[in-house]
């Protein structure tokens, strides 16, 4: 149990589908993150939210749409994805956006786009 829960664990979707990834943290943290991990590549930061406000969008295509309704929940809405978007999507949280504490990761969603 990491304190950060992601659902679903696995997702297969076609390029015309719309789906959402969900993340929930039970750690009382104020900052939440989406990372993408593709094969043979470093973890790529996608979005950062601090106190429900988006503070960073790391040049992510608009087919990825984040939503943070409160400090405990984070969503990533997906539509018209491409096969190269297949990857492990990781949610993470930390106590505050500006401090030096470590990230706590969820178990990830393995996404396959067909």
Partner 1 sequence: QKEVEQNSGPLSVPEGAIASLNCTYSDRGSQSFFWYRQYSGKSPELIMFIYSNGDKEDGRFTAQLNKASQYVSLLIRDSQPSDSATYLCAVGGSAGNKLTFGGGTRVLVKP
- Of the two residues 17 and 60, which places its CB atom closer to partner 1 in the complex? 60
Alpha helices in the chain (DSSP H): none
- Of the two residues 28 and 98, which places its CB atom closer to partner 1 in the complex? 98
Question: What is the CA angle 45-74-93, rounded to 5?
Answer: 60
Q: Which of 24, 106, 111, 113 binds partner 1 (CB under 8 A)?
A: 106
Q: Which of 42, 59, 69, 83 binds partner 1 (CB under 8 A)?
A: 42
- Of the two residues 63 and 104, which places its CB atom closer to partner 1 in the complex? 104
Q: Is residue 60 part of the contact set for partner 1 (CB under 8 A)? A: no
Buried b (16+ CB within 10 A) or exposed e, 54-78: eeeeeebeeebebebeebbebbbeb
Tokens 């997906």 appear where? Answer: 78
* Tally: H helices and E strands in the chain: 0, 11
Q: Is residue 66 part of the contact set for partner 1 (CB under 8 A)? A: no
Shortest distance (Å) from residue 105 CB to partner 1: 4
Q: Is residue 5 part of the contact set for partner 1 (CB under 8 A)? A: no
């Amino acid at each position: 149990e990491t304190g950060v829960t992601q659902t679903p664990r696995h997702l297969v979707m076609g390029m015309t589908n719309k789906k959402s990834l969900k993340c929930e943290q039970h750690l009382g943290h104020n900052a939440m993150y989406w990372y993408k991990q593709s094969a043979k590549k470093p973890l790529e930061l996608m979005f950062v939210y601090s106190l429900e406000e988006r503070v960073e969008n790391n040049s992510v295509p608009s087919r990825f749409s984040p939503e943070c309704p409160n400090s405990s929940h984070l969503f990533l809405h997906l539509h018209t994805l491409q096969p190269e978007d297949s990857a492990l999507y990781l949610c993470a949280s930390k106590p505050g956006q500006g401090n030096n504490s470590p990230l706590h990761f969820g178990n990830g969603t393995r996404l396959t786009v067909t």
